[in-house]
Amino acid sequence: MPTVLDTIATANPPTRKPQPDAAAFMQRITSLPERLRSRIPAIYRGTAIDQRHSAIADFAKDDPSEFTFFPPTWSLEPAPSTSDRNAKYREAILPLTQRAARQALAQSDTAAEDITHVIGVSCTGFFAPGFDIHLVKELGLPPTTQRTFIGFMGCYAAFNALRVAHSFCQSQPDARVLIVCAELCTLHFQVNDALETAVVNALFADGCAAAIVSQRDTVPAGVLEYVDSRTTMDDNSMDHMTWDIGDTGFQMGLSSRVPRVIADHLPGYVDALVPNEATVDFWAIHPGGRAIVDKAQKVLGLSDAKVHDSLEVLRNYGNMSSPTILFVLKRMLERGPQTGTHGVAMAFGPGLTIEGALWKWGG
């Protein structure tokens, strides 16, 4: 019997910063080298992002004496420790994940007591008992709920969660799986003399997405059937995208070569994932950055309309890592189906790795 994606709900922290204001904030940091400060406006304009959300309220303040996360000076030194950042992660991630999960349950025909599995996804913080256990307790899920946590896999991790959920559904006919992807990337913004750090600071944001996946006898109109998945890894680009734990937070390495490497592999990846007879109606491309979407559009020969949802998510939210692709798929679910047609969703991350899935509209 088919596995279906019933619903997706999203949530973001309350602090929302227009991208020009975020650039102005960064330019005021006195410990940032002048050669980088002068480039900040152009870097931020080039992202195609209008606004982003953050769990750190300091980013919306003009007076450093009001800072509660950073030191009360425009140097932002000494930088918050990894322990400080992880404490903020725990404080902010619990209400965020619970809000998204409650919304997903409210939007679906699945009651809390019907949930059989919870899959948590995150790479921006750690604690135990984790937010997956808190979801079971706070949402009133059965104490028999089986939990799986997928950590430190980056932007493509939602597909790993979907693959695991599909396996649960195929092995247990009454499975009702709650997936919650939550990332607080802005907790780990760094101030140093590296251009790639300035680019990372300009792209990443905070957000959460919750999805309910189940097995059905038939696939009703308006939901998506999970058809297949595929993984491709480029063994020669292991150092192009990295995520390491340092003394002052998690530190990302992001090479400018990433869009080109991904683009080189996409045609073969799609050919292997999509059957010859399938009509692909929609494309959900993880908007890791404008250059990634542009490269994917070019090599796959897609129209502007086919990448519109990805660019709109980038414009309104930035790159939130693992939840981002679910934000894109949510837009497609809300717009409604074209019965019988297929869709491809994909994301990219450390490896370099392409993870994705083939979908089919029900009805």
In a domain, 281, yes or no: yes
Q: State the CATH number of the domain containing residue 355.
A: 3.40.47.10
Query: Which residues are 207's β-sheet partners?
Result: 183
Per the structure, the complete domain to which residue 329 belongs is given by 223-362
37 within a domain of the structure (yes/no): no
Examine residue 153 and state whether it is found in any structural domain, yes or no: no
Residue 81 within any structural domain of the chain: no
For 51, 309, 310, 312, the CA distances from 331, given in Å and listed in that order, are 18, 7, 9, 10
Classify residue 116: in a domain, yes or no: no
Number of domains, the chain = 1
Q: Which two tokens stand for residue 19?
A: 């991208």
Query: Residue 80, class by beta-carbon neighbours within 10 Å (0-12 exposed, 13-18 middle, 19+ buried)?
Result: buried
Helix (H/G/I), strand (E/B), else coil: 210: strand
The answer to whether residue 2 sits within a structural domain is no
Q: Round to whole Å and give the CA distance between 265 and 328.
A: 22
Pairwise CA distance, residues 102 & 298, whole Å: 39
Taking only the tens of pLDDT, the chain with its 363 residues reads: 899 999 999 999 999 999 999 999 999 999 999 999 999 999 999 999 999 999 999 999 999 999 999 999 999 999 999 999 999 999 999 999 999 999 999 999 899 999 999 999 999 999 999 999 999 999 999 999 999 999 999 999 999 999 999 999 999 989 999 999 999 999 999 999 999 999 999 999 999 999 999 998 888 888 899 999 999 998 788 888 888 999 999 999 888 888 889 999 999 999 999 988 788 989 999 999 999 999 999 999 999 999 999 999 999 999 999 999 999 999 999 987 666 689 999 999 998 899 999 999 987
- Residue 255, domain member (yes or no): yes
337, part of any domain: yes
Has 155 been annotated as catalytic?
A: yes
Q: Is the pTM of this model over 0.95?
A: yes
